[in-house]
Structure formats: C-alpha cells, structure tokens
Amino acid sequence: MSVYAISDLHLAFFTEKPMDIFGEHWEDHAAKIKENWTRVIREDDLVVLPGDISWAMTLDEFLSDIMFIEELPGYKIISKGNHDYWWQTAKKLREFKNQHNIKTVTFLHNNAYIFEHEGKEYAICATRGWKCPGDSDFTQDDMKVYKREMQRLETSIKKGRNGDREMLVFIHYPPFNNKKEESGFTEILERYGINRCFYGHLHGKMVHEKALIGKLNDESLTEYYLVSCDYLGFNPFKIL
C-alpha cells in the first residue's frame, strides 16, 4: 500500500463550471485527474483529498462528483474545503454514503483515520483551516472561524495521537498567513510534534511560486507541502 494526497479537485459534473478561466492547464482537468490517478493508484492505495472537492451546493448535486471519485482506484479520505458547501453533519454524510452504496470513501469530520503502513501506525488528521491573523483581509468575523478551526485541528490530532503513531496533518487552507508567519495552527502542529503537514487552496503559477514548501524557520519541526491539484500537475503526490 502507498499513500498519496491531492486537493482542490473542483469537480462539477452536475453543471457547467469550466475551470479553464483560471488558466489553460485547467481545461478538461477532471479527465487529467482520472488519467493520472488510474496510472499510479492501485486498489489497495490510500488517497487523501483535503478539501474543495466539488462545486456542488447540496448532497444531491454532489452525487455525480463523489461517484466519479468512488469509481477511481484506491481508498479515499476526504476532508472539508472552503468551497465544499455540500458538506453536512457526520450523521448525514454516513447516511448519504449508505444510501448510494459508497464503499471507498471516508469523510474526516472532527476525527482521525488510523492505518498501518509497513509495520508502523499512522493517523490522518484534518480540518478545513481558515485565514490567519496578519492576512490583509482578516477581520473579527474571521477570528471566530479561525479559533473554531484551531479547536477542530486539535480535536483531530488528539483523536489520532497514540504512543509512537505518526500523525499526518491535512489543512485545506495554508496554516499561516501570506507573510508565512507563525499562527495558532502552526503552534498546535509544533506542540504535538507533527512532522508533516499538507495544505491546498492556492492556485495559479504566481501564487505557487511564493508558496511555502518546507519549514517556517530553522527552529520549526513541521515541514509543509502544497498539494493543490494544479500545483501537482493533476498528479497525486506520494507521501508514503
């Protein structure tokens, strides 16, 4: 078994939502994702999708997009992004899966996913995240969401923590502001000894060129990886 990550699929099989307005490389991007995915992912692999899965507004609209993912090889772990308006309570998501016989998808919702790889235990922990203090458009309303998402991150990590188990953390938003300064998210990651954190949300060549890949500073423990699908060339990024 191998473990991969890719975020920001931005699927929209339920309607016309062309993504090539964000660049020619987005043209027919779902076909690119499928081609690259099926070339490298095996049935026993694990793929983490940290947010912005679909443009759907409801679970009914989301059905065609999740069935596209369901039919791809591998087992998928999905967490929430800022555009995932279809997202519901854990109970409703379970009922949705059962209703449509979805077998290869787990939704991470204030919990953690535990698995074993080559004799070692791992936990996948995730939350959506949010803008961070210091961003130019950060407001007092953002502060409420930011604090709530910090709590959700810590809850997920606590659910996954156990002895020598390594925790792999996925946050849809970058867990720092656009100046790449420390935040409540990075403090939690450092405090719980998280070695690797994966994030998405960022799109476009100019933004990607400025994205943080690596550590915040020389004293940091946590390494950061950008896994937005356009940054990855629509290829799943291998983690393990």
Q: What is the mean pLDDT of the chain?
A: 95
From 3.60.15.10, 3.40.640.10, 3.60.21.10, 3.30.1330.60, which CATH number describes the 3-238 domain?
A: 3.60.21.10
CA distance 233 to 203: 11
Average pLDDT over residues 146-174: 97
Residue 144 has pLDDT above 70, yes or no: yes
Residue 129 has pLDDT above 70, yes or no: yes
Q: In which band, very low, low, confident or very high, does the pLDDT at 61 lie, cut at 50, 70 and 90?
A: very high
On whether the CB atoms of residues 115 and 122 are closer than 8 A, the answer is yes
Average pLDDT over residues 80-92: 97
Taking the CA atoms of residue 155, residue 112, residue 191 and residue 178 in that order, the dihedral angle to the nearest 10 degrees is -90
* Residue 23: predicted pLDDT: 74
* Residue 15: predicted pLDDT: 80
The residues facing 211 across adjacent strands are none
CA distance 232 to 66: 21
* Residue 24: predicted pLDDT: 80
Tokens of 192: 């719980």
Residue 130 has pLDDT above 90, yes or no: yes
* Residue 18: predicted pLDDT: 66
Q: Where are the extended beta strands (E) located within 88-177?
A: 105-107, 112-117, 120-127, 166-171
* Residue 125: predicted pLDDT: 98
Residue 48 has pLDDT above 80, yes or no: yes
Residue 149 has pLDDT above 90, yes or no: yes
On whether the CB atoms of residues 237 and 6 are closer than 8 A, the answer is yes
Region of residue 60 (phi > 0: left; psi between -120 and 50: alpha; otherwise: beta): alpha
pLDDT tens sequence across 7-36: 999 999 998 776 766 778 888 999 999 999
**Poorest-pLDDT segment among 5-19, 35-49, 99-113:** 5-19
